[in-house]
Amino acid sequence: MVAIGSTGARAQEHPAALNRAETRALITAAARLYDLDPALLGAIATVESGGNPKAVSPKGAQGLMQLMPATAERFDVDNPFDPIDNVLGAVRLIDFLKRWQAERPDLQGNLADLLAAYNAGEKAVEKYHGVPPYPETQAYVRRVMLAYLLGGDLPHGRPSAHRKRAGAHANPPARAGRSTALARRPGPDPLDQLTAIRDRRAAEMKRMAAQGWVESNEGQ
Contact residues for 56 (Cβ-Cβ < 8 A; gap 6+): 62
Closest by CA to 145, choosing from 188, 82, 209, 85, is 209
Cβ atoms of 73 and 81 within 8 Å: the answer is no
pLDDT digits (tens, 9 = 90+) for 163-202: 344 443 333 333 433 433 333 334 444 444 455 656 666 7
Catalytic residue numbers read: 48
pLDDT digits (tens, 9 = 90+) for 38-97: 999 999 999 999 989 999 999 999 999 999 999 999 999 999 999 999 999 999 999 999
In the chain, the domains with their CATH numbers are: 12-169+178-210 (1.10.530.10)
Report the pLDDT averaged over residues 96-124.
Answer: 90
Question: Which residues are 56's β-sheet partners?
Answer: 62
What is residue 114's predicted lDDT score, i.e. its pLDDT?
94
Cβ atoms of 52 and 152 within 8 Å: the answer is no
